[in-house]
Amino acid sequence: MLKGIMPKLMWFIAIIVTLALAPYIYTANTAILDWGDLTPFLGLEVVAGFGAFIIILGLLVQGGFFAFKATGGGMRDILQVVGAVVVILVVLNIFPTVLDYMDDLITAATGAGDSLGEVGFGILPVVLYLGLIAAAGWSAVSTYRRARRGGRGSKRASRIAYV
């Protein structure tokens, strides 16, 4: 009777950790939105406006699905969920520094008369941010695919990175 409760309990702990760290995702995302004038970064203000919600939703769906399904996933799968949250927090916190460097590159490209470089460096932060959103969702999709094949992923070494 109590045999199936441990996997569910562990997944709920992963959900609680995700919920506990979710406000920090919003705080880091707000730092991106408050960076300064985001108009040189084409579309970043729009995407970052709702990006934190999508990132948190993707992480919660991953933990919630496995709590519901109780796939019996091992500690590696649970640590993958928690690790994904931590990695996303780290990337979001260093993103304003990335914006500083990209702004320097846009300024240098403008000074050199390189319009292609100006546009390319303006698009790159949006691509990086969208990659962060996709990584949060892909982590859930890849873990779901492993569980659907019979949970084999928890019995062998994982070849999937945390994010």
Per-residue pLDDT of 36-52, as tens digits, reads: 899 889 889 999 889 88
Q: For residue 153, what pLDDT band results from cuts at 50, 70 and 90? A: very low
- N residues, the chain: 163
87-110: pLDDT as tens digits? 889 999 999 999 999 999 999 999
Say whether pLDDT at 7 is over 90.
Answer: no
Neighbouring residues of 120: CB distance < 8 A, sequence distance ≥ 6: none
- Report if pTM > 0.85: no
Would you tell me how many other CB atoms lie within 10 Å of the CB of residue 105?
17
Residue at 89: amino acid letter: L
Residue with the bigger pLDDT between 162 and 149: it is: 149
